[in-house]
Each structure stands twice: as C-alpha cells, then as structure tokens.
Structure 1
C-alpha cells in the first residue's frame, strides 16, 4: 500500500507546467516493456512463452504475445530468462539482528543503529527477489513501521512491507526477552505488547494498530528460540486472542498467531486468527479445523536444518537446540498432511533466524514435503497475496498488478532451486537488480 509519493514536489511542478501550457508529454508516462522468454502466471497456474509485458509507471497494463519490438519505450530483453511475479515472504524479521548465541542481543544496539540494520536486511531481501514481505514482529516496537514508511518514501531500497508493530505476548512468554538476570530492566518499548488479560489485550492491540501496524501478531504458545518457554505450551488464552481479533476487525484488518503446539493452534483458529505461524506440532484435528475455518498456515520448514547445523557450530543455548530437534520433523510431517488436506499455505521462512537474502532456500523444502513446484510458487505469490488481502496488486503479473517482476536462468518448474539465484529484480517498474 503506497502511503506517500517519494518526491511530491515533482508531481506538483509537472502539474503546474502542464497547466501553464507546457508540452503534454511532460504529463505522460513513457511505457517500459519486458520481453519475457517464459512467463510464469501463478494466477492461471501455467507458463506462457515469448511474452511482451507493458509497464506504465508502477503498474503492468498489458501482457500479450511478442511480435516485434515496440518503438514508444525501452524494451528489457529477458527473452532468455524465466520471468515471475516478485516473490512474497510472509514471515520475516527485518528490523532485528539476525539470531545469535547471545540471548541479550536485542539489548546491545541503539534504535538508530537498529534502523541501519533493518535497512541492510531490507535491501538483501529485495535483491533476493522478494519484492513484498510481511514482517511479523520486532523487539523494539514500531521499528518495522518506520522501515516500511522509509521504503515507501523511497529513502531506502526494500520490499513492500506489511508490519506487526510489536508482539502481543504474555509476561515472560515467547515474545519477551527472557533468560537474563532478574534485576536487568527491559526497556518499555520492548514490552509494548505484553498483556495481562483480555481487557489489557484490547488496550494494547488498539495502541499497536493506531501507531501504524498493518495487522496484529500474537504469541499464542511458547517459542523454540525464547529461553524459558516451551513450544507446546499455551500462553495466551482464547479470550485474549479473541480480544485482539476483535480490535483488528474494528480497523479492517486481522490477527495472526505464532503457535507451535497442537492445542494453541486450535485455540487460535477457534478465536478467529487469519493465519497460524509455524504450526510445528499440529495434529489432524487442527488441520481439519484450519481447513474448515479457511485459516492459512505459514510454516518455516527450512530453518530447522539451519538452526541444527549453524546453531550447534556456534554454540546456541542447548535449550534452543533441543526444542528445534523436537519440532523440526514434526513440523514437516504436519506440513505434508496440511498440503494433502488442502489447507491454504502461504510462504514464510522466519528470515532473521537465518541470513536475510536466503529466503528462497525454503522453496526446495516445500516441494520435498508435498507441493508441486507450481504450488510452491503460488504459495509465495497468489496465496500470500490473498492472505494479505492484496490479490491483484502483488504476487501477480497481469494488468493492474504492480510491476514487481523477477527473472531467473532456467526453469523453476523443473528445478525450483533456481529461485535461489535471481538474475533480475524489478519493483514498481524500476529495475533494482540487473
């Protein structure tokens, strides 16, 4: 969603010149074209060959078979490449430092330094071909709001962001900084969404939304990477989750729930959340409930291997490594069952646990655990867009869609791993990687 023009003064100047009789060409947008050798259309679930994409400003206005080169605008020759809509990662943490062995890491940087860290992560994500993300929480409240707005204003390069603002979590729960000495104070901005009961949840959820969050992120169960919490343990009550869902609905948006445990998943879905994050210990009843309620699953099935190998080598706390081992295989089996049952699955990686820019490394895992390559691509395009209520804007490559396009060498439908090696990236009609 565009909140402001990067250079509003330019628009005013052009309008003034046209009003004074300047050439009409000043007010017209010169088209740009892309000659796509192969174009993956995830909306139709098919691949078109030798296509011409016409772009005016930020949007695609037409897609048609290639006949000859247009003469009214430049043509990008991607005829030897496979072109796709820009990818979407529905579970990122751009603003915070990447995961380390130090449980106090969030306390070691200033807000100013954190802004630069977030900007670097945003750029790496965009260069990897992810032109939209949903950022699902940051330790320092509203750092993600600031980064989203800076990107929208053209101040820093990055993907389109939908952001949570702060975690809604129980005291000492999975969205808290835990494991440090009892007499060490945690800054208030890092506890903005800590709630005591349903009434407090109404207040905190309202506060987060009025300060710029696009949706709400609830920590319904314990977490793998938060010391002192257990993934299977329910932390927020059904009444507390309902309170957040109600506050989100008042402002025309939704709540999503971090939920590893089987009971936490079912409680959150019954309470009305739009999506379940992780879903590691989901059972058959939970899968059936998600299918019946139309809830999305966003399962980070790649990073269990990263945590095990990298975390072990770099001496991450044993509690984290144990919980990761206990959830990785179960999560993948639950994912396979959910795919088979027809649960809506959107692509989400938990980027920040592993390095930003590695987002596409999960693609082969999606295929290994039950999806076709086209389904994996759709999970990161059309399905993700539907979860964000942005169908027809992002994750698509037809008329009226944002001109967010990527291109790769090779065929992702025969080798999905080629999406880890993106050659070209366009966002909003601007070529940002060539």
Structure 2
C-alpha cells in the first residue's frame, strides 16, 4: 500500500480543541473500583499532568482546580476494546472496495472510526489487523487526530489460502500478475516463514502479533473453522514474538486450531466459537485469555439473513458460526477461563462497542465482571500496569455514565464523560454526533 502521503493527509484533519487544564477535580457520584468489582460512593478524582493525582471519598473541594460535576454519574476507568479493526467497517461493498480504494481512502475513514470509538468510552484499543492502523496510532500519539490509545498488529499472519491471505478470491490472471504473497505480506508456509513474518511485523512497527489459527467467517474461503497452521509453525511464531517482547493474539473458531494455538503459547484466543471443555481446561492450565467478541458474532448472524450483504461463500459461515459465540462465552465464564473484553468492531459499526457489555450480561456474566473485563483485565492482557484502575499515579483515563451500570448495564450506552490522559473529550450534555 502507498502510505507516504498518509500523515500529510491526516494532519489536515480537524481535531477536537480540548486541552488539559490541570489540575482538574472530577466529582463522581459513584466510583467503580475495578479491582474489587464494587461500586463505591461519591469520590473526588484529582487529575494533574495526565495522571490521577489523588482519589478521595466524598465531594472534596480542591483549591485552584477546574471542577467537573459528575454527581449523577458513575466514574469508571477508561474502557479497553481488545479486538477492533479501525481501518474498515463491514458493508455489502466491503469485498469490492479492496480493488477500488487506496490506502488514503482507508486512512480518512479510520480517523472518523477512531473518534467514534473514543467518544463511546474506549480510551484504549488493540487493533488486530490492518495496514493503516500503525500510522493512525502514530497520528493520534502525535496529536494530529483524535482517538484511543492503540496497540496495533499491522498485517495479520496467515497461511496460503487461510483467513487473512490478502489474495483470497482473486482470479487466476490477477493472482499470476501479483504472485503468491509471502512472509512480508504476512503469509507463511514454514517455520522459517513464520520467523520472517514476525520480524517483518517488528520492522513495520507493530505492537502485537495477530495470527489466524483457523478459518474465518468473513474471508472469501469455504471453511470457517479448519486449522491453518502446523504446531511447529505456531511455536516458531510465539517464540520469535517473545524475542521481540510481543504478545500473540490468535483468531480461532475451530477446536483443533485453538488447541494448537494454546499449546504453542499464544496470549489470547479471539472468538473461540467451537471451544471444547478440553480446550478450556488447557487454557486454564496455560493461563490463556479468551476474548469472545459476541457483538461480531451476532452482527454477522443477523446480516447473513440479508440477501446480498455477504458473498454466498461467506453467508453460511456467518449464519452458522456467528450465532454460537455468545453461548461459548457463557460456558467459558462458568468454566473459569480468564476473559477480557473485545468486540471485533469493524465487523459491526464503530462506536457501538459498548453493546458488548449487554451481550456479556445476557450470557450470564455479572455486570461488574463485564466492566472488569474492559478495564483491569484488559490491562493484564496488554501487559501494562498504568491503566485499568482509578488510583493515584495511574493514567487519567476516566469514563462516566449516568446512574449505576452494575445495577443497569444499559447505562454504558449513554456515555456522558470521556477523559484520556487527562484531556476531556466529552462532558455531560455533549452529543457524540
């Protein structure tokens, strides 16, 4: 992809004018303690220089501080979505756009998607696959555009013909002209390829490694669950990733591909549709995380009913696999598998991420646990210790919703306040539109 003009184009994009005004005192009616999962009473959170400077019970006046009244709200740590794709969004045109759009088109779209995600309460995301997103991450970090903190995978690693092979569906003439993709393009077929692909992601500036351990729902291929790596290839990916300090996220629907990925030592299983009791036990033994992405499952199952939304090779997979993920999440929670929050947004519409909380609760997961999955548990998956809780010295990533989301989880759909690194991006009374 031609990415040279990307930053110049993004620099011309308007950004929100909000600036930090330290110190800032947030007067919260309630405070969600993500360590205990309890909703505490009124607290004042003092923010200075992008960090939480103090957390005190009650409404504590702070001399010289800008006060923000959140007395009718519950303050929580900023939420993290561990599975998004900010460079795209599903539509009936998705499969043809790759032949018509340039990288700059995807870049412009990603700017809007990023802002919607932040204003929905998600101050951090892990983007698991997209060539544009590492550049979007850099633009956000440089203050050129508005969006969440991003851990970017860049191009996902796949096998020939597997989910994330970028040439799936190409005709023979186009395939002949372009030639078979290799490790540079994220497609491998050997242990040596596996090592090279990880090293290429390092060269490209990725923050995390994403692999597609099984077939996928939306790829232009028949199988949605067959294993797509040999165990030695997976071990080579994980070992090489470890050398560079990377964690590995594994897209996986089928049982055998999941088993191999867990045995190889991946950090997380994404989707996990056909997760068996045996795989769950192995995940508990190895400490592997599970990111359900119920929203994506429900979205594709619903769209599979719409004529023409998906190609016919995709439609039966979407109908069959998508409908099962919520049940898998329920079983995994009961089995004690470690779980954290992710949506696969980009499959569904960006900005709708918080609806995953409702689906988790529908699956029998307590609202407090669902909130922990998007805060302190997500921080554990990322391997960071400076976010996910509202405590002195932590990043000032804070979200507020009306009422008490533990008692009424629907409150998460009405985010009233968003702060990231001490900068206020949304206050009560402001619309997301």
Shift of 1:253: 1.9
Is the aligned partner of 1:134 residue 2:123?
Answer: no
For 1:81-121, what per-residue CA distance to the aligned partner results, in whole angstroms no more than 9, with x for missing partners? Answer: 11111111000000124343542322321112221111111
Choose the corresponding residue for 1:49, options 41, 46, 49: 41
Is the partner of 2:101 in helix, strand or coil?
coil
Shift of 1:80: 1.2
Is the aligned partner of 1:299 residue 2:289?
Answer: no
Shift of 1:427: 0.8
Residue of structure 2 equivalent to 1:330? 324
Residue of structure 2 equivalent to 1:15? none
Residue 168 to residue 99, structure 1, CA distance change in 2 (3 Å): farther
Residue 33 to residue 148, structure 1, CA distance change in 2 (3 Å): same
Residue of structure 1 equivalent to 2:134? 145
Query: Which segments of 5 or more consecutive residues in structure 1 lack a partner in the other structure?
Result: 1-28
Residue of structure 1 equivalent to 2:431? none
Shift of 1:43: 1.3
Is the partner of 1:83 in helix, strand or coil?
strand
TM-score, with length taken from structure 2: 0.89
Is the aligned partner of 1:248 residue 2:238?
Answer: no
Shift of 1:329: 3.9
Shift of 1:194: 0.8
Residue of structure 1 equivalent to 2:214? 221
Choose the corresponding residue for 2:51, options 27, 45, 59: 59
Residue of structure 1 equivalent to 2:84? 92
Structure 2 contact 291–341 (Cα < 8 Å) conserved: yes
Structure 1 contact 304–328 (Cα < 8 Å) conserved: yes
Take 2:49 and 2:218, find their aligned partners in 1: how far apart are those partners?
43
Shift of 1:318: 2.9
Structure 2 contact 183–194 (Cα < 8 Å) conserved: no
Which of structure 1's runs of 4+ aligned residues deviate more than 6 A? 187-191
Shift of 1:398: 0.9
Shift of 1:303: 2.5
Residue of structure 1 equivalent to 2:149? 160
Take 2:364 and 2:95, find their aligned partners in 1: how far apart are those partners?
35
Is the aligned partner of 1:210 residue 2:199?
Answer: no
Shift of 1:321: 2.5
Shift of 1:327: 1.6
Residue of structure 1 equivalent to 2:281? 288
Structure 2 contact 280–337 (Cα < 8 Å) conserved: yes
Residue of structure 1 equivalent to 2:343? 349
Is the aligned partner of 1:385 residue 2:410?
Answer: no
Shift of 1:229: 3.8
Take 2:417 and 2:63, find their aligned partners in 1: how far apart are those partners?
23
Shift of 1:190: 11
Take 1:317 and 1:337, find their aligned partners in 2: how far apart are those partners?
31
Take 1:260 and 1:67, find their aligned partners in 2: how far apart are those partners?
48
Residue 180 to residue 210, structure 1, CA distance change in 2 (3 Å): closer
Residue of structure 1 equivalent to 2:171? 181
Take 2:32 and 2:182, find their aligned partners in 1: how far apart are those partners?
43
Structure 1 contact 90–384 (Cα < 8 Å) conserved: yes
Take 2:222 and 2:79, find their aligned partners in 1: how far apart are those partners?
33
How do 1:64-83 residues align onto structure 2 when only pairs under 5 Å count?
Answer: 64-83=56-75
Structure 2 contact 183–197 (Cα < 8 Å) conserved: no
TM-score, with length taken from structure 1: 0.89
Is the partner of 1:386 in helix, strand or coil?
helix
Shift of 1:226: 0.6
Take 1:414 and 1:267, find their aligned partners in 2: how far apart are those partners?
40
